[in-house]
Chain A
Amino acid sequence: MNDIATAAQLTAASFKSAVKPVWCPGCGDYSVLSAITKALAIIGKPPHEVGVVSGIGCSSRIPAYTSCYGFHGVHGRALAAATGLKVARPDLTVLVTGGDGDGYSIGGNHFLHACRRNVDLTYIVMDNHVYGMTKGQPSPTTEPDWDSKLAPGGTKIRVFHPLVVALAAGANFVGRAFAGDPNGTAALIAQAIKHPGFSFVEVLSPCVTFRPEQKEWKSMVRPAPVEATDDPVQAARRVMTDDGMNLGVLYAGDRPPYALDYGRAPKNVTDLEMEFRV
């Protein structure tokens, strides 16, 4: 950990650990890792003032690849762990990283309530519409007609709309980025970190092994044609009717973030133990 680096000296490299990623060559998550480290350099907080929390999956390996404090939690529970961390240590900048399976299926309930609580977290979901780590099962964002050996003929189940759900549940910042645009993704993540409350950034991150057709995303994505709105209904209508390829800040609200009443909280561990003494 680089404790002595000042904000001016911080670069993306300051936030990278010596652990080498094990992702498939060509995976979009490499770019997202690069974008996260660039975003943290833009924010200018040293690594020891940042916590990165994840669940399980390819993209959930990110905490190990950063020099920040990291927590690789259980499947789908990253947001629960991150909420505890942020409430206990509000001075830390807390990022949560994961994939579409971890966040929208196993962790779907935590996703809803993290949006609703509006704790000051930044949730970065690398969405590749597939469970890559476990060899290509359909995820909640997989197209219903995606035909694969593990889901012959497709699931025929409608896709989950994470951005709409986030807006309905109360997320205070919603944006979409593309892994093939690491500088754009870095700028969006930096904006999300700076925005108070629960910020949700969905990053389209191609899985080159199980969804090689997603390499075409680079010719499909585009900057959102309209400015971000502060009206969640308008934002939800836009993302429900777009083709999922509009990038940028889509919603920036002004709901105050959750704040624990520290005046009523136990002052130290001994006080806490006293409260629970039988």
Chain B
Amino acid sequence: MKLNAPKTIEEFMAQAYAMEVEAAQRYSDLADAMDTHNNREVAELFRKMAVIEGKHGTQIMEEMGWKTPPANAVAPSWEGFEAAESVPIDDVHYLMRPWHALQLALAAEQRAERFFAELAKSTTDASVRKAALELQEEEREHVDLVRAWMAKVPQPEKDWAEDPDPPRYDE
């Protein structure tokens, strides 16, 4: 997917804001889905991630001095269709464990780090480059935080996906 590098700092931050909002919304949707399917542990984890990403969005608003969010800004994509920090909707399983959820969060943060690194390389605007490098550094910190979180969470059992009453019978 080709990226149209933003030309101004306002445009760049509007896209960065959209990226955080979309990531927060996706985590929130995933939390709802897990709640519905009674996977409370993972729902709670996704809910926490939604709050964290939402705070990053608020932080951007404050840094830019925006009173209201930029109207209908679209998060840019670099790899695939969606914004770098959004967990793909189809990467989840109703029986997934918190460790799996953190794996997805880790991959999302790594994509975001790569995204800002690539953007810093491709932009011709010095202020956009500076901001992209700052956000890249923030995303790198998030990668470390998620890794530290994963270290505290037990790895899933081998039979984590086994359901004695599965929705689909193949035999």
How far is A27 from B91 in the complex, measured between Cα atoms in Å? Answer: 10
Q: Give B97 Cβ to nearest chain A Cβ, in Å.
A: 13
Tell me whether B82 and A181 are in contact (CB under 8 A).
yes
Convert B134-171 into 0s and 1s, putting 1 for each residue whose CB lies closer than 8 angstroms to a CB of A. Answer: 00000000000000000000000000000000011111
Let me know if B168 and A28 touch, CB within 8 A: no
Contact A9 B68, beta carbon cutoff 8 Å: yes
User: In whole angstroms, how far apart are the Cα atoms of A38 and B74 in the complex?
Assistant: 10
Q: Please name 23 pairs of A and B residues whose Cβ atoms are closer than 8 Å in the assembled complex, sorted by A.
A: A8-B68, A9-B68, A11-B69, A11-B72, A12-B25, A21-B33, A21-B36, A23-B33, A25-B30, A25-B37, A26-B89, A26-B90, A28-B89, A38-B72, A135-B167, A149-B170, A149-B171, A179-B89, A180-B80, A180-B82, A206-B90, A208-B90, A210-B168
Nearest chain B CB to A132's CB is how many angstroms away? 9
Name A residues whose Cβ lies closer than 8 Å to a Cβ of B.
Answer: 8-9, 11-13, 20-28, 30-31, 34, 38, 41-42, 135-136, 149, 178-184, 206, 208-210, 215, 218
Contacts of A20 in B (CB 8 A): 32, 35-36
- Indicate if the CB atoms of B167 and A24 lie closer than 8 Å: yes
- Give Cα A182–Cα B75 distance, bound, in whole angstroms: 11
CB-based contact A209/B74 at 8 Å: no
Are B90 and A180 closer than 8 Å at their CB atoms?
Answer: yes
Q: Across the interface, do A34 and B90 meet the contact criterion of CB distance under 8 Å?
A: no
The answer to whether B33 and A209 have CB atoms under 8 Å apart is no
The B contact surface, by secondary structure, is loop
Count residues of chain B with CB under 8 A from any CB of chain A.
33
Q: Give the total number of A-B pairs whose CB atoms are below 8 A apart.
A: 81
7 closest Cβ pairs, A-B complex: A181-B81, A25-B33, A20-B32, A25-B92, A26-B90, A25-B94, A26-B92
Q: Which of B32, B82, B91 contacts A21 (CB 8 A)?
A: B32
Known: A149-B169, A181-B82, A209-B167. A28 touches B90 (CB 8 A): yes
Given contacts A24-B167, A34-B25, A209-B168, contact A182 B33 (CB under 8 A): no
Contact B80 A26 (CB under 8 A): no
* Residue contact A183 to B75, C-beta cutoff 8 Å: yes
Given contacts A25-B37, A209-B167, A210-B168, contact A30 B93 (CB under 8 A): no
A184 to B83, CA, bound (A): 12
